[in-house]
Chains A and B, each alone.
Chain A
């Protein structure tokens, strides 16, 4: 398959177009996804142009965006809806967590609810407390949902194709600081299996577990650590639920040290779950305590200096690793 340089937004758009060509039941609905091209420009990469009747602008009605998609999915369609910012997702928590996530189980398996909710996450744009959050832990606590958080254009495209084809409700987290990130992406159709982590960099001394925007920070930290003689393995989970426990335990089995890195606030973050799993099922593999490097337990602040202090960076990751290998 020939490769093409695409940015993350373009790769997502490519996945949408491929699936819309393949399956006439796939449609898109969301705020300003039509002529405007999406607030982050995703559907503007030719999706609306190719499918003007299947890329539907909605009113500013988050509960209707996800709520109608539940009924549409149960009645035979495959909605790929967009919630502009993940901060707005809690507005539609009933539709997502009580309806979509439970539709299959609650009714004894009679219905499927194959819908994808794409949403932009993360800080870094100076958008403060209502447009910057990483709320994946809310989702991971709800049985029935799949949560995907890709870190590269290649992963974004392959995972989104898998997400649209999956018969379960999927929340697809797009880090807004990654939309412009460029990478080599196969031009045609390919899938990446849901629930499979990816070693983004091999290492032997410590495992850095991460996803979404933090993969880049971990790779930068690993570069610096190498110069200090520390070999860090960067394990990108890519999918949070279902979690690739095997890859996690395998990596810790190799490095014997674990640092979990996420942008979301520390308390109740998904890192706590990962730490608990390793403590429970991989305690004997560890040579050092598990460390978490995460956002502080604060809202995301506006001022550039405060926002920079909020976002986990390579310095903090390097410092945490130094403590473990000292």
Chain B
């Protein structure tokens, strides 16, 4: 990471500290959820974003508050980075009525209309169409907004990916497709399910730019995302932004990820996005270890408070089963 890149990415001391704070909050949310899940307190599946925080944080740092977002089952990080309330997120994870979806979505399906988040989604790749449609609405309504989809590497093998990106290309839609390439689709390694190394290469077949970036470097992600977002907002059409990364855990909690090479895992952990960012902060003299500890302590306190809120929230009334099937 060079001085030049931080400057080009518009990253000064306050910005980098803010980015770091978001990443720490995401990591702490995930670790807190992990512990609760292992206690058996949380129903359903839990897919943790730990290790991929720089992507959500970097991309979201260059969006406007009213830009649209559609994401996937590993979506907690995107929600926090876009500004969601961790109290309502934890409540949703526990299936409580104070959750974002009144307890009807759970971890994989949190949406927040107040932040224009069109939901995390349980169907791999579904977010690609939804963001494309939201981008179409932005262009149709000429409201200056854009849409961003976060998707996994394996979802780019679905036909829906092709159909959506082609449509976005021919209609010049203001959309950014952010591929979080953590190299595994559940237990299958990328090299076993596609011949190419860079998923960004697929953009060439749709006629718009594909960019590869170090997804663990929040400054690099922010810089690449800014170019893509600027392109979308100025009428330049879509971008496929591939962020190379690594998930700390298995596909879901309960998956020990025995299919990954331990040496590769260790090597990636050394490039953890929080480690890279904290090192930069310290090297630049923009923070002391005590400052970083303080950020962690604040995140710990926030998550404990959020957890308490969720635990104290009631379960939905059983009438909720039949509520909102249709709009009246």
Contacts and interface: CB of A to CB of B under 8 A. Distances in A.
Interface of A: 25, 27, 56, 58-59, 61-64, 66-77, 79, 94-95, 98-99, 103-112, 114, 143-144, 146, 166-168, 242
A98 B123 contact: yes
A274 to B, nearest CB: 20
A59 B167 contact: yes
B92 to A, nearest CB: 9
Given A94-B126, A168-B326, A107 B119 contact: yes
A71 B104 contact: no
Interface in B159-208: 159-160, 163-164, 166-167, 170-171
Contacts, number: 150
A107 B122 CA distance: 12
B274 interface: no
Given A79-B133, A110-B111, A143-B325, 5 more contacts: A67-B160, A77-B140, A107-B101, A108-B100, A108-B105
A104 B113 contact: no
Contact of A77 (B122, B126, B137): B137
B132 A68 contact: yes
Contact of A63 (B122, B160, B170): B160
Contacts of B256: none
Contacts of B119: 103, 106-107, 111
Contacts of A63: 129, 159-160, 163-164
A108 B129 contact: no
B231 interface: no
Contacts of B121: 99
A64 B135 CA distance: 13
Interface residues of B, number: 46
A315 to B, nearest CB: 39
Looking at chain A's contact residues, the main secondary structure is mixed
B134 interface: yes
Contacts of B118: 71, 74-75, 111
Contact of A109 (B123, B140, B324): B324
Given A105-B324, A107-B119, A110-B112, A73 B133 contact: yes
A82 B113 CA distance: 28
A105 B170 CA distance: 32
Given A72-B137, A109-B102, A167 B327 contact: yes
B105 A106 contact: yes
Nearest to A98: B123
Chain B CB within 10 Å, residue with most, of A68, A94, A112: A68
A104 B323 CA distance: 10
A36 to B, nearest CB: 16
B141 interface: yes
B148 to A, nearest CB: 12
A104 B138 contact: no
Contacts of A167: 327
Nearest to A107: B111
Interface in B98-119: 99-105, 109, 111-113, 118-119
B111 A111 contact: yes
